[in-house]
Amino acid sequence: MKPSSFRYAVPTTLRAAIDIRAASEDSVVLAGGQSLIPTMNFRLANPEVVIDLRKLDELNYIRVGGGMVRMGAMTRQRVVEEDAEALAANPLIRETLTNVAHPAIRNRGTIGGSLAHADPSAELPTLLTTLRGTLTAQGPSGRRSIPATEFFEFIFTTALEPDELLVEAAVPVLEPGEGWAFTEFARRHGDYAVAGVAATLLVGPDGRISRARLGACGIATVPALLTECEELLTGNAPGDELFAAAGQVARDAVTVSDDSATTKAYRRHVLAGLVERTLKTAMTRVGVPR
């Protein structure tokens, strides 16, 4: 057997899950298992306790309302991808999800699992960060909301306390006529990307960009907000030259160093092209009725 042995806890309520999380020195939370089980198969993780959330139906939901799309932590990625209401409210969610690994992975992988895992090269953390979404944690002392921009602290490290569970992720709905796009570059479709970019563009009645949101994965120790690009774009008339300039500005956001497959210089180059391409795609959707 690949994983080492562990105590296996199957709570049927969120309260019980939090209790056992709080009471365990060395526990891991099993959601969809698409990142955790590989690390256990390699015995990179040898937890004493595995807390399997599979019976927590209370964390399996998609709710659209109040200007937000709220997703329970145990909602499968593929279910969100196929949800018509979520698509109508915020099509960037689906476009982002189709870049997460492969269908067989997304059928099992959960929204909360990917976010709590906090891989900076993953797409969902970048979506939450770019849209300034909110994560909800619950622990023994109650619930709290954490802005996505504060949730991701480092590689595989979040603002969750050891006794807290991630219970919900929420992103705002897009404005009518707001453009959107997610683009990434990977060696094989579905692999971890060399870099990926999420963007939204809102153009005002004066023909100028009134709001631009940009974020990227794969380039830093956390999902990166490309704030300098956002500032460059906002207030200006959209166009190919402006988008190309934004790509050049984005290069300096790459802080990871060379790895075995990709140099930093190459990653900067890829990011510049991706930012430009993503903005162009987002622009084609500006003002288009959904």
Rounded to a whole number of angstroms, the minimum distance from the CB of residue 20 to another protein is: 6
* Sole binder of another protein in the list 94, 108, 132, 277 (CB under 8 A): 108
Nearer CB in complex with another protein: 17/201: 17
Among 250, 255, 189, which residue's Cα sits nearest to residue 219? 255
Query: Mask: binding to another protein, 39-58, rule CB under 8 A, as x and -?
Result: -xxx-------x-x-x----
For 33, the token pair is 């298992």
Number of amino acids touching another protein (CB under 8 A): 40
Rounded to a whole number of angstroms, the minimum distance from the CB of residue 59 to another protein is: 15
What are 37-44's contacts with CB under 8 Å, separation 24+? Answer: 37/3, 40/2, 40/3, 40/4, 41/2, 41/3, 42/2, 43/2, 43/3, 43/4
Site residues for another protein, 15-34, by CB under 8 A, read: 15-17, 19-20, 30, 33-34
Nearer CB in complex with another protein: 76/280: 76
* Sole binder of another protein in the list 5, 142, 206, 261 (CB under 8 A): 5
b/e string for 207-243 if b means 16 or more Cβ within 10 A?
Answer: eebeebbbbbbbbbebbbbbeebbebbeeeebeeebb
Nearer CB in complex with another protein: 77/129: 77
173 lies in the binding site for another protein (CB under 8 A)? no
Rounded Cα distance, 54 and 31, in Å: 7
Taking a C-beta distance cutoff of 8 angstroms, is the pair 81, 90 a contact? no
Rounded Cα distance, 175 and 200, in Å: 10
11 lies in the binding site for another protein (CB under 8 A)? yes
Nearer CB in complex with another protein: 56/203: 56
Nearer CB in complex with another protein: 102/290: 102
Q: Who contacts 171 (Cβ-Cβ below 8 Å, separation ≥6)?
A: 68, 69, 90, 93, 127, 128, 131, 133
Stretch that binds another protein, among 3-11, 119-127, 160-168, 232-240 (CB under 8 A): 3-11
Contacting residues toward another protein, per CB under 8 A: 1-13, 15-17, 19-20, 30, 33-34, 37-38, 40-42, 50, 52, 54, 78, 101-105, 107-108, 188-190
